Structure 1
Amino acid sequence: MESQTRQRLRAPNFTKCENLLLRDCIQKRKNVIENKKTDRNSLQQKQEAWMEVAKEFNEANTGIQRTVESLQQNYKNLKKKLRKRKLLSSRQETVAETFNTLTSEKKELVSAKSELLQIQLIDEQERLEHNRLLRKMEFEDAQKRYEHNETIRMLQLEEYS
């Protein structure tokens, strides 16, 4: 029963000033804290570095005294938030780059379509002009044949008369 009535006391959230102070304390020992090695010596050095961070942090902080564990958790959370911001930022850049690329491709496509339509228009104009000249020549040829046939009929009429 006694364990059910006990509740874990929650410390206040870290302030922006505390986050900056933590970052500065860690920066001095970052090569040890961020070391990926997990051998006994490296783990011992990391633990000592975190103890130094906690001591420096609590001496400089006028607010709540923080434990090594709470400082480690807050540091993990800060890194997670930073990665998330970078990811979102890079996604936004990617979206913007994609939009710019698509926009420029669309402009190129519209330009190419415009050029194609201009070429088709010129071709159609040339075809119409060619057909007009052909019809004119056919008309002139028909007219000359008619005149020739008329001349032949006149000559034949003169012969018969």
Structure 2
Amino acid sequence: MEKNKRNRARNFTSDEIRALIRAVTKYSVILEDKTTDSNNWEKKNETWKQIANEFNATNSVFIRNEEVLRNKYDNLKKDLKKKVAYNKAQTFRSGGGASDYKTFNEDEKELLKIISLSINGLPTEPGSNESLVMLQKSYTTNEEERRVKKYEAEIQNLYQAAEQQKLEHLKRMEILEIEMQSKKRQLLLQYLTHYKNNC
């Protein structure tokens, strides 16, 4: 019994990869937006349809639909991130000195510009150890600032909660004072009424 085989699209040529990266670069702000609401997903889907139209209008090799182009783009990013992670590990292993780095072709360098934020912009090639130190310092500073702001916000929330409790306590005391004065007047009236009736 023969199994149904899934039709496999032809491999992308280097020209097609270059054309895809060019198209993606044009819409990178939308495609790399990390927002996960339905409006953003719909916008991304429409953008991929637009990319497919533009890609196929200039591509004479093979017609590619948006799903195929999207999968290819995701795979290119995965492969590139693996290479970046490898080079990053080599940087830490060698202390920034000479090591076994993987180089990037021009297409990968263009793709790096698009996804640099999602991979933290850490060094990808030899000679970038200085930028690594600067980025690490910047990251550490930002983390410290975030922690300080978070601490200050927590203190402010506690202060506001204490002030709120103080106000609520004062209001309760005022209400009790009013109730006590009212009770005193009622008791005084009852006493005077009783006194008059007995005189």
TM range (shorter): 0.5 to 0.7
Q: Which amino acid aligns with 2:32?
A: E
Name the TM-score, length of structure 1 as normaliser.
Answer: 0.56
2:32 maps to which of 24, 31, 34: 34
> Which residue of structure 2 lines up, in the alignment, with residue 61 of structure 1?
59
Give 1:52 deviation, angstroms.
0.6
Give 1:88 deviation, angstroms.
0.8
Runs of 5+ consecutive residues of structure 2 not aligned to the other structure = 99-199
Q: Which amino acid aligns with 2:22?
A: D
Contact 2:91–2:97 (CA under 8 A) maintained in structure 1: no
Do structure 1's residue 11 and structure 2's residue 22 form an aligned pair?
A: no
> Which residue of structure 2 lines up, in the alignment, with residue 109 of structure 1?
none
- CA RMSD between the two structures: 1.9
**Equivalent runs, 1:3-152 vs 2, <5 Å:** 5-97=3-95
Q: Deviations over 1:30-77 (max 9, x none)?
A: 111111112222111111110010001111111011111111111110
Q: Which amino acid aligns with 1:32?
A: I
Aligned residues: 98
Q: Deviations over 1:108-155 (max 9, x none)?
A: xxxxxxxxxxxxxxxxxxxxxxxxxxxxxxxxxxxxxxxxxxxxxxxx
Percentage identity across paired residues of the two chains: 35
Give 1:7 deviation, angstroms.
2.1
Rg comparison, structure with higher value: 1
Equivalent-residue separation in structure 2 for 1:58 and 1:18 (angstroms): 10
Q: 1:96 to 1:62 in 2, by over 3 A?
A: same
Runs of 5+ consecutive residues of structure 1 not aligned to the other structure = 101-161
Q: Which amino acid aligns with 1:24?
A: R
Determine which structure has the larger helix proportion and give its number: 1
